[in-house]
Structure 1
Amino acid sequence: MQYYNSNTVIYLDGRFVKAQDAKTDLYGQSLHYGLAAFEGIRAYKTHNDTRIFKIKEHFERLKRSCELVNMPYPWDNNELIKQTYQLLKLNNLKDAYIRPIVYSAPNMTLIAPQEVSIMICAWEWGAYLGDKQLKVCISPFQRPNPKSTFVEAKISGHYVNSILATTDAKNKGFDEALLLDMHENVAEGSGANIFLEKNGKLYTPTLGNILAGITRATVIELCKVLDIEVIEKTISVEELKSADSAFFCGTAAEIIGIHTLDDTVFKQRWHDSIGATIQRAYKNLVLEKVNYEVII
């Protein structure tokens, strides 16, 4: 995928600059130790012009991630939101993926930085995991012990775990990995939360060992509107494999069905599942085709 070209503009510390001219310091703590906070945000072309879905919530989580790991966050989120829309306009982007990242100034110690920078970039975006149901395997890699880090913070270094899991899954012929927590219970995908359907209800792992996904929260909101019961609980592998259907959800992945988990084929046809209903409702919501609620 080509993320930028000679005309691409990024936002860097209060200025719009050409991506090819931007520079970073090779002595940055973020590069050496993975201490950077980031977000993945989606913009959609709607009949009401380009809308960035839940941009306020994403920037609030970015700020919270920085606070959790003691990184400064000297910016006003309303200003960052304004500049993000301007970034899309400058790059003539309608349907896009947006990546803000807060990273450290030169700092080769193991102490949180006192100075940071922010960069926001964007590029055209399609279906991250495709548009077909996925073949998923249980990963040999677990999510980190929540006492070892702040799992609710979206920190760059955490994603080494995701890269290992996804690479392993792809090498085995699967589309994606499902990671368990330290107790061998279901956690999440490498970059998405998971829901399962059983007897007309949806179940999803409780917070504590997983990222509190913004799309996950949106699914729960949609279920309230659609009168679908959602239960947050500890879920064993056996419970998941006995489910009627299952799906991943995330900003990049949106809503995507899971066809198989290891050798288990989910018995319900995707088009008849609650997940498919949520998939349609979510697409209508982000494209502002329905009025479930105003989320901009």
Structure 2
Amino acid sequence: MQYYSRETYIHLNGDFVKAAEAGADFFGQSLHYGYAAFEGLRAYSTHHGIRIFKAEEHFDRLKKSCDAINLPYQWDTPALITSTYELLSKNNLRAAYIRPLVFSGPNMHLTAASSSNIMIAAWEWGPYLGQNLLRVCISDVERPNPKSLPVDAKVSGQYVSSILATSDAIKRGFDEALLRDQEGYIAQASSENLFIEKDFKLYTPPLGNVFPGITRQTVIALCKELNIDIVEKKLTVADILSADSAFLCGTASEIIGIKEVDGIVYKEDWEHTIGASIQRKYKKLVLEEENYEVII
């Protein structure tokens, strides 16, 4: 898809510039080594106007990701949120996916950056994985080891493994891949968190080897609000294959059900699952159609 036109603006180090005219530094560690941090947010067109869902949490996490890899971060969250709303206005966007990226200044050494830049882009983007139930496979690609990379940070370089896993899954006729951690447990999908349903309870892998997604935390909060039993535990391949149903969640994908894993079709009709109920509640939450102040 085309992410920008000649009239599209991005936010770059405090200024609004045309995306087609913005230059790139070819001597930065971000380009050569993947030394960068990013976020993904969504803006929704609600009855109360344009709303960026949990904007403060996302920008605060961007700072934490930069801190985790010693990438300088000098920006103020409220100011970035204001600039992002202005960016949406300049691009005439009411509903959009938003991508902030912090990247390093010029440095060819394998040392911490002494300077950094921030770019924010936005474009119209439907749910990343579409809206149909997914056919998923278990990948041979593993999640990065927490001792080699901070897996709780959105660091650009670690997503190479996600690209490899997803590309292989699509080549094999699937929609998405599930990745194991270094202990052999199922951790998450390439860029989404995983939940399974078994005997009227939800289960999800615990933090430590999975990304602490904001959508993941929102699902957990919704479960508590709706009195749905939710358990965080390490999940084996057998757990995944014997589940009654399952779904993925993330800002880009929102909440989307899984039809089958490695050819094994889940027995529960999606519309009657806990995941489908959460999916409907989540949509009402982000569109501000119900009052979930305790969750927001």
| TM-score, with length taken from structure 1 | 0.99
Give the Cα–Cα distance (whole angstroms) in 2 for the partners of residues 149 and 54 of structure 1: 26
Match of 2:216 in 1: 216
Q: Could you say which residue in structure 1 is the equivalent of 2:276?
A: 276
Query: Which amino acid letter does the alignment assign opposite residue 34 of structure 1?
Result: G
Shift of 1:148: 0.9
CA positional deviation for 1:263: 2.1
Q: Report the Cα distance in structure 1 between the residues aligned to 2:14 and 2:281, rounded to whole angstroms.
A: 37
The equivalent of 2:45 in structure 1 is 45
Does 2:125 correspond to 1:125? yes
Q: How does 1:124-143 map to 2 (within 5 A)?
A: 124-143=124-143
Residue 79 of structure 2 corresponds to 79
Structure 1 position 295, deviation (Å): 6.6
Give SS of 1:179's match: strand
**What is the CA distance between 1:294 and its match in structure 2?**
6.5
Report 1:150-229 matches (<5 A): 150-229=150-229
Gap runs ≥5 in structure 2? none
Q: Secondary structure at the match of 2:223?
A: helix
Whether contact under 8 Å (2:246, 2:258) holds in the other structure is yes
- Looking at structure 1, the residues matched to 131 and 10 of structure 2 have their Cα atoms a distance apart, in angstroms, of 29
Displacement of 1:93 after TM fit? 0.3
Q: Distance in 1 between matches of 2:65 and 2:265?
A: 37
Distance 1:62 1:106 in 2: 21
The code of the aligned residue for 1:253 comes to: S
| Structure 2 residue aligned with 1:67 | 67
Contact 1:225–1:292 at 8 Å: present in 2 too? no
Please, which runs of 5 or more residues in structure 1 have no aligned partner?
none
SS of the counterpart of 2:179? Answer: strand
- Using the alignment, how far apart are the partners of 1:239 and 1:2 within structure 2? 39
* Local SS of the residue matching 1:240: helix
Q: What is the aligned partner in structure 1 of residue 110 from structure 2?
A: 110
* Deviation digits for residues 157-177 of structure 1 (CA, Å, limit 9, x no counterpart): 011000000000000000100
Which amino acid in the other structure matches residue 133 of structure 1? L
**CA contact under 8 A between 1:53 and 1:295: conserved in structure 2?**
no
Paired residues, number: 296
| Aligned equivalent of 2:232 | 232
SS of equivalent to 1:289:
coil
The amino acid of 1:12's aligned partner reads L
Q: Does 1:99 align with 2:99?
A: yes
Contact 1:29–1:105 under 8 Å retained in 2 = yes
What is the rounded CA distance, in whole Å, between the counterparts of 1:140 and 1:250 in structure 2?
A: 22
Using the TM superposition, give the Cα deviation of residue 229 of structure 1 relative to its aligned residue in structure 2, in angstroms: 1.1
* 2:34 equivalent in structure 1: 34
Show CA shifts across 1:163-222 (max 9, x none): 000000000000100101111111000110000001111000001111100000000011
- Matched letter for residue 184 of structure 1: G
CA RMSD of aligned residues (A): 0.9
User: Match for 1:89: what amino acid?
Assistant: S
Structure-1 separation of matches of 2:142 and 2:6:
40
Could you tell me how far apart the structure 2 residues matched to 1:291 and 1:31 are? 43
**Alpha carbons 2:38, 2:101 under 8 Å: kept:** yes
Matched-pair contact (CA < 8 Å) for 2:222–2:295 = no
* Structure 2 Cα separation of the partners of residues 247 and 26 of structure 1: 40
Whole-Å separation in 1 of the counterparts to 2:17 and 2:295: 30
